A and B are shown apart, each in its own frame.
Chain A
Amino acid sequence: MKFIRKRIHNLIILMLTSLFVAGTVSSLNAQENLPGKEIIKKSQQEFFYPGNDFKAKVQMKLINKNGKERIRELTMLRLNIGEQEDQKYYMYFHQPADVREMTFMVWKYSKKNDDRWLYVPSIKLVRQIAANDKNSSFVGSDFSYEDVTGREIHLDEHTLKEENTINGNSAYVVESIPKDKKSTFFSRKVSWIDKSTFLPLKEEYYDKRGDLHKTFTAAKIETVQGIETIMQRTMTNNKNGHHTIVVFEKVKYNVGLKEDIFTERYLRNAPQEWIQ
């Protein structure tokens, strides 16, 4: 009996040891060679979630194939909520003149459709607007709502294809394929993600026929309060030549935004201390 007990004891130790070794090895592997999903997850954290909150003045130039420009200028406030990857966004439009003082609010949820509200200053109207159209153009630009607030990671299958160099930066090249083909306009997305900062340097979206549809490029990256931040980005529609250049100015993190900013009170009455 004693012998058997010892055998069992040894067996348990062996099992535990091998579990521990296997765990260590796999975590070592993960660090050296992160799977696609982990890279995208970390990239989204660095791109859409840095800091507790964020404030910036955003300049958008919407340029058609003939070079004709339209301007959008807005102040964007963002606050991260809890551990669930939920966020709240507040946008105040300075330009164009026709939508000046318009405000727009998004409560973004990781597990369900976002809630959006719009305030129309000329008639002092607040209305909730439907948010299932994540591929719709954001204020007439080449960026969609999803490009502004991030696409849910679980919607795509992410695969690390290779490691490559882009503009002198080493990058992971990750391919993302939508699980539900009907859910979005692209059939495949290829992302070049900086190995050190995890910011997306370039993204290519391919349409259902496999043709290049639109391309994202990060043109200027700066360190703000120790956080690597894309200060200028471009989205180009490769099919019609229309493109949108977005420049961030006056970027600040951890400014102390409170949740009450993201309510009807401030939709109707923009918080002057935050929007300038």
Chain B
Amino acid sequence: MDSIKNLLLTGLSVFLFFVIVNPLNAQNIELHGFLQTNFSARTAETRGILTPQGNPLPGYLLGDERVQLQISKSSTNVRLLSKTDFFYDAVSKKMNLDIREAYIDLTLGKFDIRTGRQIITWGLGDLVFINDVFPKDWVAFASSQPLEYLKAGADAININFFPGFTSFQLVVIPFYQSDVLPTGERITVYDPFPDIAYRQEIQPELSIGNTQIAGRLYRYVGNFDISLYYYRGFWGSPPGFITTPNRDSLTITHPGLNLYGTSVQGPLLNGVLSFESGYLNSRDDAEGTSPGIENSQVRYLLGYQRPFGENFSINLQYYGEYIQNYKKMVGSLPVPTNREELRHTLSLRLTQYFSYQTLRLSFFAYYSPNERDYYFNPEFRYDFGSDIYLNVGGTYFGGKKDDTFLGQFDKNDNIYFVLRYAF
């Protein structure tokens, strides 16, 4: 069904594309994209772990061959763009397509308006998201697809207003899109209800009241970038859940979320300092006593990046997640938790270039000193010319406990490679 829907959507977008393009005097249509092979092999021992269908976990997380086609047409005030991936997934032995982006840009004086499927990235964190409430694909991330696949498109109207003294952005997302979360078929994670076989997901009803609204105000103050954020929508990840009293079915839900945040970025001591924070108000569980609804939280990030010498740079981050009604939350949970009231995490990214930036070695480490879990990603990238590159790396998760944020991914360690030819 999904592939038929996708096919129809592509047909529609291509049709619309040409209907709109023709009156604009069909020339300067640009075609770009890439061909890519992306394999990822599981290195973690998974004997005895079964998928929900009762099969052993696949030894490969990815066997992905894809073509991305980007068609665009620009004039001074209008731009049309569609970016569609056609791919074969050798693990599921299925062909599919994915409309990554398909939008129309209008520039009207002090307004820039983007309508359609689009990727939006907010905030300053390196793999840490506070005010970036837009859809994410955590399965793509954990299975070592290139980083851009962590971000999924949202079908939205994105209005930007630039009156001068400050800039405004308003994103309206009428159709809710869930984050892509592990289901145990390829990426296995901690499951508090291993005995419940029947599972379903309920998305927020399609109504005007459920339209997601995200706003951002930003400006430069000196050479600092300052932003204020607001979001009214739903928890993407972690989602909520409801179990029936006799524990025979589990329903994934998306409880209400209001977010108020801020970020500041600017130069400090030959580097760049970043600060971001957010208050996540879980509006469907103000008391913090519902076991199936994520508690309200305060999240904050302090980051600093700077180069050392000509080809080496370091990015350090501290990220904290403070649960607002921790005692009530712990008391309400049906199973014990290893979550801390204040989760601390430290991350470090090292990047070193060689040979006129044709070779890049990078290392990313993410570690929580109090929940004792980690994520490591060493990577090697080599450019064979202007258009072909090879990425080889490893993705390692682990932790002392198997239910913490990163510890639960323990059985998904993998080595991967990506070979891409871009045109």
Indicate whether A and B interact. Answer: yes
Known: A123-B147, A130-B306. A269 touches B356 (CB 8 A): no
Contact call A273/B223, Cβ cutoff below 8 A: no
Known: A97-B34, A97-B386, A265-B160. A133 touches B422 (CB 8 A): no
- Of B51-59, B205-213, B249-257, B307-315, the one contacting chain A is B307-315
- Of B262-270, B339-347, B396-404, the one contacting chain A is B262-270
Q: Is A100 an interface residue (CB 8 A)?
A: yes
**Which residue from B105, B311, B353, B386 sits with its C-beta under 8 Å from A95?**
B386
Contact call A70/B121, Cβ cutoff below 8 A: no
Contact call A264/B385, Cβ cutoff below 8 A: no
Known: A62-B356, A122-B148, A265-B112. A133 touches B307 (CB 8 A): yes
Contact call B358/A127, Cβ cutoff below 8 A: no
Residues of B contacting A23 in the complex (Cβ-Cβ under 8 angstroms): none
- Per the 8 Å Cβ criterion, residues 122-145 of A in contact with B are 122-125, 127-133, 135-137, 139-142, 144
Q: Is A113 an interface residue (CB 8 A)?
A: yes
Q: Which residue in chain A gives the minimum CB-CB distance to B150?
A: A123
**Which residue from A115, A130, A135, A137 sits with its C-beta under 8 Å from B271?**
A130
Nearest Cβ on chain A to B183's Cβ, whole angstroms: 24
Contact call B385/A68, Cβ cutoff below 8 A: yes
**Which residue from B34, B79, B271 sits with its C-beta under 8 Å from A272?**
B79
B74-117: CB near A (< 8 Å → 1, else 0) gives 11110100000000000000000000000001010000100000
Known: A269-B105, A272-B74. A96 touches B386 (CB 8 A): yes
Contact call B385/A70, Cβ cutoff below 8 A: yes
Q: Is A98 an interface residue (CB 8 A)?
A: yes
Q: Is B151 an interface residue (CB 8 A)?
A: yes
**Which residue from A97, A128, A140 sits with its C-beta under 8 Å from B422?**
A97
Q: How far is the CA of A71 from the CA of B34 in the complex (A)?
A: 17
B165-196: CB near A (< 8 Å → 1, else 0) gives 00100000000000000000000000000000
Residues of A contacting B311 in the complex (Cβ-Cβ under 8 angstroms): 136-137
Nearest Cβ on chain A to B342's Cβ, whole angstroms: 27
Known: A132-B307, A264-B167. A97 touches B423 (CB 8 A): yes
Residues of B contacting A68 in the complex (Cβ-Cβ under 8 angstroms): 385
Known: A68-B385, A130-B270. A125 touches B121 (CB 8 A): yes
Q: Is A180 an interface residue (CB 8 A)?
A: no
Q: How far is the CA of A98 from the CA of B33 in the complex (A)?
A: 9
Contact call B307/A113, Cβ cutoff below 8 A: no
Residues of B contacting A263 in the complex (Cβ-Cβ under 8 angstroms): 162, 167, 220
Known: A123-B148, A127-B124, A137-B357. A113 touches B74 (CB 8 A): no
Residues of B contacting A131 in the complex (Cβ-Cβ under 8 angstroms): 267
Residues of A contacting B232 in the complex (Cβ-Cβ under 8 angstroms): none
Q: Is B327 an interface residue (CB 8 A)?
A: no
A61-86: CB near B (< 8 Å → 1, else 0) gives 01010001111100000000000000
- Per the 8 Å Cβ criterion, residues 232-276 of A in contact with B are 242, 260, 263-265, 269, 272-273
- Per the 8 Å Cβ criterion, residues 5-64 of B in contact with A are 32, 34
Contact call B76/A115, Cβ cutoff below 8 A: no
Q: How far is the CA of A142 from the CA of B357 in the complex (A)?
A: 11
Q: Which residue in chain A gives the minimum CB-CB distance to B357?
A: A140
- Per the 8 Å Cβ criterion, residues 185-243 of B in contact with A are 218, 220, 223, 225
Contact call B223/A115, Cβ cutoff below 8 A: yes
Nearest Cβ on chain B to A67's Cβ, whole angstroms: 13
Q: Is B387 an interface residue (CB 8 A)?
A: yes
Residues of A contacting B353 in the complex (Cβ-Cβ under 8 angstroms): 137
Q: How far is the CA of A70 from the CA of B162 in the complex (A)?
A: 38
**Which residue from A64, A128, A141 sits with its C-beta under 8 Å from B272?**
A128
Q: Is A47 an interface residue (CB 8 A)?
A: no
**Which residue from A96, A128, A185 sits with its C-beta under 8 Å from B266?**
A128
- Per the 8 Å Cβ criterion, residues 365-423 of B in contact with A are 383, 385-387, 389, 420, 422-423
Q: Is B144 an interface residue (CB 8 A)?
A: no
Nearest Cβ on chain B to A144's Cβ, whole angstroms: 8
Q: How far is the CA of A26 from the CA of B310 in the complex (A)?
A: 43
**Which residue from B32, B225, B307 sits with its C-beta under 8 Å from A97?**
B32
Contact call A137/B356, Cβ cutoff below 8 A: yes
Nearest Cβ on chain B to A112's Cβ, whole angstroms: 9
Known: A139-B357, A273-B76. A260 touches B162 (CB 8 A): yes
Chain A residues in the interface with B (C-beta under 8 A): 62, 64, 68-72, 95-98, 100, 107, 113, 115, 122-125, 127-133, 135-137, 139-142, 144, 185, 242, 260, 263-265, 269, 272-273
- 9 shortest interchain CB distances as A-B pairs: A97-B422, A140-B357, A132-B270, A96-B386, A122-B148, A133-B307, A98-B422, A136-B310, A125-B121
A-B contact pairs, 5 of them (CB 8 A): A98-B386, A98-B420, A125-B121, A260-B162, A265-B112
